[in-house]
Structure 1
Amino acid sequence: MTIKNFSIEYDAINSRNTFTNGDTIAGRIIVEVSKEIHIKSLIFIAKAKAKTCWTEHYGQNVHVVLWADEKYYEIKHHILREGRQDGSGVIGRGRHVFPFTFKIPDGKIPSSFKASTGKITHRLKAELHQSMRVPVKAKTSFTFVSKADMDMPGLMEPQYGCKDRSVTFFGSGNISMEVHTERMGYQQGDALKVTAEISNRSTRSVKPKFVLYEKKSFFAQGRRRVNTNDILKQKIEPLASSSKQTVTKVISIPRELPPSILNCSIIKLEYRLKVVLDVSMTKDPKVKLPIVILPHRTGSVSKEQEAYSSKSLTAW
């Protein structure tokens, strides 16, 4: 095999190995050959796109595949081209390194995301083209995190919800609650303070529960698929009948929790805080409040400060 190694790699700029709008990615394409070869072109490609796909079943014989995609950018640079007078269309035996730089565009570009039903990818690719041969390709992905949208309506405003429920089955009375949070927007690791004012004017005891959960929505061809998953659950002591109580809980948002994705038309990652009053033999009253997880405000760091790198596997 003439081409022994063909790969692409890049240098990280911070300890999280993440990038955002306006960052410049520096890296290199590595070509190792056992003998001299002539090439038509060596191309660097950077692109980002979102894709959703799932199958819906109707009866035993009808299966419908739904899909959608959305592109955000695709940038190509010709590193080498055939026919240049400097002889760059010929690669001699040995290992060759071709550096590249790429500046991520500004704009509303969604963060990297991956699930079984959809994904948002940010990739760097390299293609080596020769006459009468199948192109040789290599690729690697990088983690992109959107900048926080601090202009989102209500982001730093208090959130409020209320609910009441009558108890009629083997009991009587009314149960109500009012739930408050300090704001809607939080960063990973922040403390989420929630206050619930609970009034139990029924003959039953109630068990308050606090749940932080994620909601993933996927859209394609006018249809939607939604998945939810509980992240944190906390319970408190039951509230006796004919009593009132104000409960304050502080929930620590996990540091590894991905930021919300609200700027993609086919994939959304949202978070909710749910307060539930567990009442036997009665539909549980619940209040849901929106939570927006904002990315860390980590700036770019020079290569000399942190020498992290990410390498791809060879792709043929």
Structure 2
Amino acid sequence: MGVKVRTFGIVFDSEGVSSYSSGDVVSGQVLLELSDELKLAALRLEAKGCARVNWSDNLAASSAVTGTVAPRYREEVVYLQHQQTLRQPTGDQGCFITLQPGKHEFPFSFHLPQGPLVTSFNGKYGSVKYWVTAILERPCVPNQIVKREFSVTSQIDVNAPNFLSSVSKSKEKTVGCWFFTSGPISISAKIERSGFCNGEAIPIYAEFENCSSRLIVPKAAIFQTQTYLANEKTKTFRQMVANVRGNHVASGSTESWNGKALKIPPVNPSILDCCIVRVEYSLAVYVHIPGSKKLLLELPIVIGTIPYNCFGSRTSSVCSQFSMDMSWLRLALPEQPEAPPNYADVVTEEDLARQFPSLPQTDNLQHEFGSPIFAYIQEFRFQPPPVYSEVDPNPTFTEEMRREVSFEI
């Protein structure tokens, strides 16, 4: 008999999506291409996601001598378990379904759990993986299986308050040999926040002081630490993922880094919510000392997935400052505005008692002086303003008409 199954594979609807998150829908089709008709018992789909660790102690030398087997440490934690049947015979079809030659598509869809899912990861002694398996069951033939992995990312927002606070440390070391010391070397380092994302540059603020007789070289590096736990045992793997160096610091000199940039390469986000696999990062600022151990201090950092929003942080800061300033303004202002004082309260009695000459008629002024009256408007400059009142003493024509006219229906 010829080969009946030409193609058996899995295609996701969102092939362009690099990763899924908690609560997302994973959907796609199982593709089946046949060269001849095929009797099908069932077509099932399984989705699984789990964290696994696996390592053994390095006892090869002793094992060869004693004949003992090195112990292995294994552990597994399941985060996703889903099963569904895509095709199976019904009651009137008997035990099998006959599929005709050609292409067949069987759609599938399922939701990822709403709870926290650990980010996909492949490390030295363990991994976190998610995959979909399609199982083709046929009579008198071994099951045919196809597997397809997909990536899951646990979202970490670096704008969280616990990632926005600055981190700083200082350390000092005296360099010498036996009873002869040449002086201390000190480091002070600071970063303005501890949360970053891939592609960002970490601004490093550091001060290096060399009071020894040796030439030192300041450096900085990002380290990834993988920690695996199984059977109450711990296995650690540490590697450098990025580094930068500064200028040599001569004896009796200092070196300052005012925001020296160290770019983060594409690395796996931090994994902090798995009980058997942890991925942590740190920024190490250190000096290389010839003939002596390096002087090193480490600042913990977190590699997240939601980028830092500088504008949002500044806006919140400005808003909080503005609110504080407005609170002082409310204390300074009265609850209700006061009426202006009476003119008589601010003018002396002599000014009030001053007599102003009576003004002649307009016709006499124009006849006597031969000029219009506005030329002598200055005579009114000593007139006091009217007394303050909430009722307008000189209503407009429109207001008078409203008072006099009434409408009857």
TM-score (norm 1): 0.85
Of structures 1 and 2, the larger Rg is shown by 2
1:164 aligns with 2:172: yes
2:162 match: secondary structure = coil
Other-structure match for 1:308: none
Other-structure match for 1:279: 289
CA separation in 2, counterparts of 1:153 and 1:126? 44
Q: Does the Cα contact within 8 Å between 2:174 and 2:181 map onto a contact in 1? A: no
Q: What displacement does 1:105 show?
A: 1.7
1:187 aligns with 2:183: no
CA separation in 2, counterparts of 1:73 and 1:189? 30
Q: Which structure has more RCO (C-alpha within 8 Å, separation ≥ 6)?
A: 1
The one of 75, 78, 93 equivalent to 2:101 is 93
1:105 aligns with 2:113: yes
Output aligned runs, 1:36-55, within 5 Å: 36-55=37-56
Q: What displacement does 1:152 show?
A: 6.8
CA separation in 2, counterparts of 1:184 and 1:84? 62
Specify every segment of 5 or more residues in structure 2 that has no aligned partner in the other structure, as ranges: 308-409
State the superposition RMSD in angstroms.
2.2
Q: What displacement does 1:296 show?
A: 4.7
Flag the 1:147–1:44 CA change in 2: closer, same or farther, 3 A. same
More helix by share: 2
Q: What displacement does 1:180 show?
A: 0.4
Flag the 1:151–1:71 CA change in 2: closer, same or farther, 3 A. farther
Other-structure match for 1:304: none
Other-structure match for 2:261: 250
Other-structure match for 1:301: none
CA separation in 2, counterparts of 1:272 and 1:265? 20
CA separation in 1, counterparts of 2:269 and 2:98? 46
Other-structure match for 1:57: 58
The one of 1, 4, 7 equivalent to 1:2 is 4
CA separation in 2, counterparts of 1:18 and 1:103? 14
The one of 263, 270, 291 equivalent to 2:273 is 263
Q: Does the Cα contact within 8 Å between 1:41 and 1:80 map onto a contact in 2? A: yes
Flag the 1:227–1:185 CA change in 2: closer, same or farther, 3 A. same
Flag the 1:89–1:224 CA change in 2: closer, same or farther, 3 A. same
Other-structure match for 2:144: 136
CA separation in 1, counterparts of 2:212 and 2:158? 43
Letter of the 1:282 counterpart: S
Other-structure match for 2:79: 72
CA separation in 2, counterparts of 1:153 and 1:3? 56
> Post-superposition, which runs of at least 4 consecutive aligned residues in structure 1 deviate over 4 A?
84-88, 149-153
2:142 match: secondary structure = coil
Letter of the 2:9 counterpart: S
Other-structure match for 1:240: 250
CA separation in 2, counterparts of 1:120 and 1:89? 37
CA separation in 2, counterparts of 1:92 and 1:141? 29
Q: What displacement does 1:151 show?
A: 8.7
Letter of the 2:34 counterpart: V
Output aligned runs, 1:269-308, within 5 Å: 269-296=279-306
CA separation in 1, counterparts of 2:168 and 2:84? 51
Q: CA-to-partner distance for each residue in 1:195-252, whole Å, 9 max, x for gaps?
A: 1122223333321111112112222212222222212221111222223332231112
Other-structure match for 1:224: 234
1:22 aligns with 2:23: yes
Letter of the 2:156 counterpart: A
Q: What displacement does 1:84 show?
A: 4.5
Q: CA-to-partner distance for each residue in 1:272-301, whole Å, 9 max, x for gaps?
A: 11111112233221111112111256xxxx
Specify every segment of 5 or more residues in structure 1 that has no aligned partner in the other structure, as ranges: 298-316
1:211 aligns with 2:221: yes
Other-structure match for 2:127: 119
TM-score (norm 2): 0.67
1:101 match: secondary structure = strand
Q: Does the Cα contact within 8 Å between 1:188 and 1:296 map onto a contact in 2? A: no
1:154 match: secondary structure = helix
CA separation in 2, counterparts of 1:154 and 1:204? 40
CA separation in 2, counterparts of 1:231 and 1:22? 32
Q: CA-to-partner distance for each residue in 1:289-315, whole Å, 9 max, x for gaps?
A: 112111256xxxxxxxxxxxxxxxxxx
Q: Does the Cα contact within 8 Å between 1:272 and 1:289 map onto a contact in 2? A: yes
Q: What displacement does 1:140 show?
A: 0.4
CA separation in 1, counterparts of 2:115 and 2:202? 30
CA separation in 1, counterparts of 2:295 and 2:76? 38
Flag the 1:151–1:252 CA change in 2: closer, same or farther, 3 A. closer
CA separation in 2, counterparts of 1:85 and 1:295? 52
Q: Does the Cα contact within 8 Å between 1:159 and 1:180 map onto a contact in 2? A: yes
Q: What displacement does 1:102 show?
A: 2.2
CA separation in 1, counterparts of 2:124 and 2:166? 34
Letter of the 2:213 counterpart: T
Q: Does the Cα contact within 8 Å between 1:12 and 1:18 map onto a contact in 2? A: no
Segment drifting more, 108-117 vs 64-73: 108-117
